[in-house]
Structure 1
Amino acid sequence: MGQGLKEILWKLAEKVGAELNYEVVDVELTREGAQRLLRVFIDRPEGIGINDCEMFSKRLSAVLDEEDPIPTAYLLEVSSPGLERPLTKPEHFQRFAGQGVEISLFAPLQGKRKIRGRLKGWSAQPESQVSVEVNGVTLDIPWEMIAKARLQIID
């Protein structure tokens, strides 16, 4: 998904989230077989149920029909982020400090493109970075190196 389209889809989803009082956790536009799929993960403190997904989906679908940012046919899927929720915003890294995390990097850091450990948190000082404890050692990962991150159940 092009960066411009991704930003547009995020803004539209967050607009609906603000209207309906949901946090938009992640927005993905992928291809599964021949079908394009727009997947939106939503959350709120009391959790997400099927009725929440249905309500959000109906409202977002109406906004997408009006704005028409995706030029081809696609399926819309709205769901909760689940146990292995994506971490997409700095506040996610702060909120879930202490939990297991798996981070995929754009380029290797200390010879690894995938880091698994215990999330220590987020710091914007002096540079934006995520701290992860791996085998008792704290690793500071620059924000711009992170391709994807999600919570993981670790021993």
Structure 2
Amino acid sequence: MELTDRIAQMVSPSLEAMGYEVVRVQLSGGQRQTLQVMADRLDQKPMNVEDCADISRTISALLDVEDPISTAYTLEVSSPGIDRPLVRPKDFKRFAGFEARLEAKVPVEGRKRFRGTLLGLDEEGAVLMDSDAGQLRIAFSDIGRAKLILTDELIAASQAEQAEAEAPTS
């Protein structure tokens, strides 16, 4: 199991108990590595600085106990942002209808890079996309990287989601 997968498994239960979920864990850099933990709120409200600070304190405590990284590193906690990476099957479902950029691990119809509108997942869990190359079906395991594209529609949807989250409940 990869180190980042181990770290995700290690911190996920605590974050879920706090009302968050791990979106992605990445370790990058040379001499002084950076451990990036990207998280979302389970209630899908927008993340704020306090959320990231709470998550950072919790992860720091867990990593101090388990000590999975033997060298010095910097912990960076962030939200996925509006033009977020798509890393889990549910991301492709949730953001169906929005534009995305996708890079496949293996060529699909002779290409690896695509841009188009996400159509969600099929019954087998493959990602569906309407691209300039036509409608595509790409096995989730064959996706190298995927990311939403910042568009007016995505910004409007994000603003509507934020307004709904901030509206008082009665």
Same fold flag (TM > 0.5): yes
Alignment of 1:60-139 (within 5 A): 60-125=59-124, 128-135=125-132, 137-139=134-136
Structure 2 counterpart of 1:141, which letter?
I
Q: Following the alignment from structure 2 to structure 1, what is the Cα–Cα distance between the partners of residues 116 and 68?
A: 38
Deviation, structure 1 residue 63: 0.3
**Unaligned stretches of 5+ residues in structure 2:** 153-170
Deviation, structure 1 residue 154: 5.1
**Unaligned stretches of 5+ residues in structure 1:** none
**Contact map agreement 1:117 1:154 (CA 8 A) in 2:** no
Task: List structure 1 runs of 4+ shifted beyond 3 angstroms.
Answer: none
Q: Which has the larger radius of gyration?
A: 2
Deviation, structure 1 residue 87: 1.2
Match of 2:7 in 1: 9
- Say if 2:82 is the partner of 1:54: no
Deviation larger for 74-83 or 132-141: 132-141
Distance 1:146 1:136, change over 3 A: closer
Match of 1:18 in 2: 16
Q: Following the alignment from structure 1 to structure 2, what is the Cα–Cα distance between the partners of residues 10 and 103?
A: 23
Match of 2:161 in 1: none
TM-score, normalising length: structure 1: 0.89
TM-score, normalising length: structure 2: 0.82
CA RMSD, 1 decimal = 1.7
**Contact map agreement 1:16 1:56 (CA 8 A) in 2:** no
Q: Percent identity?
A: 37
Q: Which has the higher strand share?
A: 1
**Contact map agreement 2:115 2:132 (CA 8 A) in 1:** no
Of residues 128, 150, 155, the one that matches 1:153 is: 150
Q: Find the residue that maps to 2:2 and give its secondary structure.
A: helix
Q: Which has the higher helix share?
A: 2
Q: Following the alignment from structure 1 to structure 2, what is the Cα–Cα distance between the partners of residues 72 and 26?
A: 21
